[in-house]
Amino acid sequence: MINGKDKLIVAIDTNEFDKAKELIDTLENEVDIFKVGLEQYVSTRGKTVDYLKEKGKKIFLDLKFHDIPNTMQSAVRAAVRDNVWLMTIHVSDMEGMRQCALAAKEEAEKLNIEKPIIVGVTVLTSLSNKDLQDIGCNMTTEELAIKRAKLAKEAGIDGIVCSAQEVDKIVEACGKDFITVCPGVRPSGADKGDQKRVVTPADAINKGAHYLVVGRPITKAENPAQSAKNIVNEIENA
């Protein structure tokens, strides 16, 4: 049986450092991996990353680097030096992704540490087919996610971020070893919030997802630790 704690990533969705610390402390025994996103990182000036390192937790730095290749690879090197476990870039041009993959490898070797996982964001889970049409893309969210996943694999990065709705198709296209990180996961009966493409933890695991990102269903719950435990159990039972 899989260890559900190895699959669950909790998104720290507060912009206040004290609240982030309180959440981490509350979930300390139930959660091993935490996601620090753009709002959290900027508003606390990265202090939450330092606190997670003090606690010995794995850090998913979700800043979604997207810029010219030189800037992206420089940002990746800085993240490697911060000893994060996993980071995101946008699936963009091939050269940019190749440079990011190479930079992570070189920087980790120079520091004699384990190379962080790099995953590429395919299609944000807040986007629908109509949203893509509005910006001039005639593909569906699934078609675009699969195409970008193939590009990411060809460029040499470790995996992608995608909705669990299309993760089985991406596993089929890119192989089981290509890492899939799925946000927008909601336990049965939970509020979807601003996510338009969501599935349950059990469905995501059964479709082949490697890691599940859960935020508000845990962080806004009356008992966050119990909610995390319930999701871990659901993952393991799947």
Active-site residue set:
64
Residue 89 CB: number of other CB atoms within 10 A? 28
Buried b (16+ CB within 10 A) or exposed e, 114-141: eebbbbbbbbbbebebeebeeeeeeeeb
Cβ neighbour number for residue 70 with a 10 Å cutoff: 12
Instruction: Tell me the Ramachandran region of residue 177: left when phi exceeds 0, alpha when psi lies from -120 to 50, beta otherwise.
Output: alpha
On whether the CB atoms of residues 157 and 95 are closer than 8 A, the answer is no
Residue 80 to residues 152, 159, 187, 197, 233, Cα–Cα distance (Å): 19, 17, 33, 31, 32
Task: State both tokens at 222.
Answer: 């009356």
Question: From CA 225, how far away is CA 28, in angstroms rounded?
Answer: 8
CA angle 88–94–96, rounded 5-degree value: 55
For residues 218 and 134, give the distance between their C-alpha atoms in angstroms, rounded to a whole number.
33
